């Protein structure tokens, strides 16, 4: 296979940009602190950086490697994690001072436990960074005390606490001549106090068989982190410790992820990422690798002495057709074959990201089959040109098969061949040559996998993935793709996650964070209280038991359960289950119609809870449509409109998921000023008990779901008057200090018979009280202004009439005698000089203030 060119890479990039990924949304979300998902936390003021987790075979004890300490936690209790014992393992002040003098930060100089493995049934082997000077020791698992003084841990544990590493202890069975014990012998040699087989006390040699643990690690062997190494330790003279020959650069700046031992193959597979030197790119191209070594390897006799003779590596290609590969491996977990299946069916589920910015924020899961890995390692290998350090593929005669066990007795020529040809030509492609799961919304960091047998006796693969934002996702792999059953918020603030451990016998997941340990149950069946909700979850752990009428664990039930993992078909799975009101609406929850009092021209917003994050919310009105010019459907599922005579009435919120429809809320919108406000609408329901209903249904609690049904025909509009009576027994509830009688079960199966505008709405017509008051006030103001203006005009006219005016003789004045006319002239003259008039002239007659003629005696 030729090296890909830049042109082909550009074509692949364009093809990837044109491709689309399916959006994966968790069906149910459980934020921190809600009662729907039970979590158990362990933390302490002196507990931090729980880097490594080790679970006992029984699942009752969890050993934690943290900063400066090893903890033994009792996890056998349901509601608590108890600290059984603690071993303090801190560097001295002198060690920390030397670490600081080397230029390291004081926060990086404590002892971070990075290796924690069972050595045998009584002891644990532990290694820590120990102020950038790795140390290892044996710890008694019962008393949590050190059995021996800590020794050097170079090549077994990293120096830097931020460098990733992998370690695994594998029991090795061997035969040897043993002698009687000598005083002062190392207990690691013959297993004294460590439960290795006993020796005879006679001092005679005998041929026997024994087993002991050997440590296989992938880490760095120097202070600067420039010497990566895959090595074997704890042989203690019985077998040689081995490591890689680094003269030819067998590893190129690797980041070790995980390791797995396959007993049937007697091989250890290590997974890591490194720089791909076989690609001639301008920038460093990261590739994901799988490598193998045989546990029976003891090195060559002359060539490759104390070096691996069975080391080989190949590329893991997590890539879909015509798309850019996800080339950086983040985590990987091994899924053993099903019972009765061959070892070749072992699957490795890897979590990958990409170094390309176009894939930023995306995570992909790929699965690789052991038989495909073996096929690649048994094929051709690339050839390294020592002069140019370039890899090429050419047809050549195979002197030996690289990666084959038992080469320690091979010739020097064969060992030189496997020394120079250790990179497989072909890449290991995923199962089905496609991605198992692709998420463009979540950035995953850790994963673990489990095979679960459902009620139909079929096996399903369940992935537990941890996001960088602190959510644990549980996803089931189906033929149609991955389905995320739920997400659980493990911690509120994003923080470094150090490890993820699954306990299959106990059904628990343990998450190690920088603050402590969190325990999450793998199943949450009791959350689903109805058959439809239990089936829609599509959780292989859970099924609906028609006898106990509860969602129970599939592995714990002996009865036939209602379950449909592949399709989630409620109609088929729950066809034998009668759906009562309690099944529809949950425990002690009934769908009362909520009364919403509004004023005309007021903006109304009706909130509707969602049955799940995969459901779609619909709004309906009885015998009426919801035109877009009057109603606005918001993104959160709520309905908004302006209150008017046309929009008053009843509203029904429906939730639809996978073809199953259920009623989530009923609202009755009415006008505040209606005289019949205190007379509620009445629905009927068959069960006679009183409960308190809430205004809205919480998204995440047991109140999350309600029922399926149709509108009832019987609605009581006035006290004592009904259109149709279904039953004399009615159930009433209190809602905002108003009596509301609920729907009968059989009435849900009838067609709606509501008509907006009828007395059912409790509104006899539009009310213009506010408008009338405003018009009346304006009218009063106008009348007051008009009267004021009239009074002002009348006063002005009166002033103009009382002012002195020249007297014009009329015809009657012409009849007066000359003597009278002279008297009038004289009186007028006196009035002008006195400043006021003593009399008035009316119709040519002068009168005094007393109403008589002037100068006339009374």
Tokens of 717: 């509009």
Cα gap 310→418, rounded to integer Å = 8
Cα gap 52→112, rounded to integer Å = 9
Per the DSSP assignment, residues forming a β-bridge with 656 are: 616, 661
Percent of the chain with pLDDT over 70: 72
* CATH number, domain 250-444: 2.130.10.10
Question: What phi and psi values does residue 450 have, to the nearest 5 degrees?
Answer: -145, 145
Q: Lowest-pLDDT range, 164-178, 273-287, 333-347, 565-579?
A: 164-178
The answer to whether residue 620 scores a pLDDT higher than 50 is: yes
Please state the rounded mean pLDDT for residues 414-442. 92
The answer to whether residue 423 scores a pLDDT higher than 70 is: yes
Say if CB 437 and CB 477 are below 8 A apart.
Answer: yes
CATH architecture of 523-573: 2-Layer Sandwich (3.30)
> Where does CATH 2.60.40.10 sit in the chain?
581-767
Cα gap 512→500, rounded to integer Å = 6
State pLDDT tens for residues 572-609: 999 877 655 444 444 444 455 789 999 999 999 999 88
Question: What is the helix, strand, coil percentage profile of the chain, to 5?
Answer: 15, 35, 50
> Where does CATH 2.130.10.10 sit in the chain?
250-444
State pLDDT tens for residues 99-115: 999 889 999 999 999 99
Say if CB 759 and CB 716 are below 8 A apart.
Answer: no
The answer to whether residue 824 scores a pLDDT higher than 50 is: no
pTM (two decimals):
0.74
Per the DSSP assignment, residues forming a β-bridge with 651 are: 667
Indicate the burial class of 655 (C-beta count within 10 angstroms; 0-12, 13-18, 19 or more): buried
Cα gap 635→605, rounded to integer Å = 12
How far from each other are the two terminal CA atoms of the chain, in whole angstroms? Answer: 149
Q: Where does residue 720 fall: left (phi above 0), alpha (psi -120 to 50 degrees), or beta otherwise?
A: left
pLDDT score, position 828: 43
Of residues 73, 78, 77, the one with CA closest to residue 61? 73
Longest CA pairwise span in the chain (Å): 185
Which segments within 9-60 are labelled E, that is strand?
28-30, 40-43, 52-55
CA angle (424 as vertex; 308, 391 as ends), nearest 5: 100
Q: Lowest-pLDDT range, 200-214, 454-468, 787-801?
A: 200-214
469 CB contacts (<8 Å, ≥6 apart)?
442, 443, 494
DSSP 286-309: EEEEEEEEETT----SSTTTTB-S
> Where does CATH 3.30.1680.10 sit in the chain?
523-573
pLDDT score, position 777: 87
The answer to whether residue 66 scores a pLDDT higher than 90 is: yes
* CATH number, domain 581-767: 2.60.40.10
State pLDDT tens for residues 665-714: 999 999 986 554 444 443 333 333 333 333 333 333 333 333 333 343 33
Strands 593-598 and 660-671: parallel
State pLDDT tens for residues 75-93: 999 889 999 999 999 999 9
DSSP 51-101: -EEEE-TTSSEEEEEEBTEEEEEE--SSS--EEEEEEE----HHHHHHHHH
Cα gap 848→846, rounded to integer Å = 7
């Amino acid at each position: 296979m030729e090296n890909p060119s830049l042109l082909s890479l550009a074509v692949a990039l364009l093809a990837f940009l044109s491709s689309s990924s399916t959006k994966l949304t968790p069906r149910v979300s459980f934020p921190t602190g809600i009662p729907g998902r039970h979590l158990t936390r362990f933390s302490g003021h002196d507990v931090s950086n729980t880097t490594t987790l080790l679970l006992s075979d029984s699942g009752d004890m969890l050993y934690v490697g943290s900063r400066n300490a090893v903890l033994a936690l009792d996890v056998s209790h349901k509601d608590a994690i108890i600290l059984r014992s603690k071993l303090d393992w801190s560097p001295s002040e002198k060690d920390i001072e030397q670490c600081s003098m080397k230029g390291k930060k004081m926060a990086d100089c404590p002892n971070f436990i990075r290796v924690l493995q069972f050595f045998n049934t009584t002891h644990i082997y532990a290694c820590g960074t120990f102020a950038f000077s790795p140390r290892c020791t044996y710890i008694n698992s019962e008393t949590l005390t050190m059995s021996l003084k800590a020794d050097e841990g170079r090549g077994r544990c990293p120096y830097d606490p931020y460098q990733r590493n992998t370690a695994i202890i594998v029991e090795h069975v061997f035969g040897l001549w043993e002698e009687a014990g000598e005083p002062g012998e190392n207990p690691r040699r013959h297993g004294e106090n460590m439960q290795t087989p006993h020796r005879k006390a006679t001092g005679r040699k005998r041929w026997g068989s024994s087993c002991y643990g050997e440590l296989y690690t992938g880490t760095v062997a120097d202070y600067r982190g420039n010497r990566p190494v895959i090595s074997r330790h704890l042989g203690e003279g019985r077998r040689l410790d081995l490591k890689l020959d680094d003269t030819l650069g067998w590893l190129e700046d690797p980041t070790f992820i995980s390791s797995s031992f396959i007993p049937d193959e007697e091989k250890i597979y290590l997974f890591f990422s490194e720089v791909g030197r076989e690609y001639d790119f301008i920038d460093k191209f990261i590739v994901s690798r799988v490598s193998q070594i045989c546990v029976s390897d003891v090195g060559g006799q002359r060539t490759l002495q104390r070096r691996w003779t069975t080391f080989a590596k190949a590329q893991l290609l997590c890539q879909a057709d015509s798309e850019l590969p996800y080339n950086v491996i983040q985590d990987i977990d091994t899924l053993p074959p099903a019972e009765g299946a061959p070892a070749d069916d072992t699957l490795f589920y890897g979590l990958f990201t990409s170094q390309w910015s176009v894939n930023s924020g995306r995570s992909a899961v790929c699965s690789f089959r052991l038989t495909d890995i073996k096929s690649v390692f048994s094929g051709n290998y690339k050839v390294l040109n020592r002069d140019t350090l370039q890899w090429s593929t050419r047809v050549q005669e195979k002197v030996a098969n690289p990666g084959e066990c038992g080469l320690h007795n091979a010739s020097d020529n064969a060992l030189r061949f496997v020394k120079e040809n250790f990179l497989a030509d072909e890449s290991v492609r995923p199962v089905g040559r496609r991605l198992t799961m692709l998420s463009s919304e979540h950035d995953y960091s850790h994963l673990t996998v489990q095979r679960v047998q459902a009620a139909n006796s079929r096996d399903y693969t369940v992935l537990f993935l941890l996001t960088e934002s602190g959510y644990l996702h549980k996803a089931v792999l189906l033929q149609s793709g991955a389905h995320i059953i739920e997400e659980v918020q493990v911690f509120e603030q994003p923080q470094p996650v150090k490890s993820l451990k699954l306990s299959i016998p106990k059904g628990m997941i343990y998450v190690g964070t920088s603050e402590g340990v969190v325990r999450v149950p793998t199943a949450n069946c009791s959350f689903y209280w109805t058959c439809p909700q239990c089936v829609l979850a599509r959780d292989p752990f859970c099924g609906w038991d028609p006898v106990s009428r509860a969602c129970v664990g599939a592995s714990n039930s002996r009865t036939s359960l209602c379950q449909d993992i592949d399709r989630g078909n409620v109609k088929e799975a729950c066809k034998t289950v009668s759906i009562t009101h309690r099944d529809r609406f949950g425990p002690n929850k009934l769908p009362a119609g909520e009364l919403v009092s509004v004023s005309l021209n007021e903006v109304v917003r009706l909130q509707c809870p969602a049955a799940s994050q995969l459901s779609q919310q619909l709004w309906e009105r009885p015998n009426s449509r919801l035109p877009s010019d009057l109603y606005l459907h918001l993104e959160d599922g709520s309905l908004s409109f302006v209150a008017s005579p046309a929009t008053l009435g009843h509203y029904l919120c429906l939730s639809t998921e996978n073809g199953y429809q259920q009623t989530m809320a009923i609202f009755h919108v009415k006008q505040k000023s209606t005289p019949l406000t205190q007379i509620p609408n009445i629905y009927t329901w068959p069960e006679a008990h009183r409960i308190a209903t809430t205004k809205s249904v919480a998204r995440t609690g047991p109140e999350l779901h309600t029922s399926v049904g149709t509108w009832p025909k019987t609605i009581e509009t006035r006290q004592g008057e009904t259109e149709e009576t279904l039953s004399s027994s009615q159930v009433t509830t209190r809602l905002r200090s108003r009596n509301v009688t609920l729907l009968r079960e059989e009435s849900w199966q009838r067609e709606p018979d509501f008509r907006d505008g009828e007395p059912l709405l409790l509104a006899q017509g539009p009310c213009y009280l506010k408008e009338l008051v405003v018009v009346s006030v304006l009218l009063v103001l106008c009348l007051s202004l008009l009267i004021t203006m009239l009074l002002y005009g009348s006063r002005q006219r009166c002033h103009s009439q009382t002012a002195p005016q020249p007297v014009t003789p009329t015809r009657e004045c012409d009849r007066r005698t000359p003597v009278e006319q002279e008297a009038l002239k004289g009186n007028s003259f006196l009035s002008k000089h006195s400043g006021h008039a003593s009399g008035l002239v009316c119709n040519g007659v002068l009168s005094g203030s007393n109403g008589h003629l002037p100068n006339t005696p009374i």
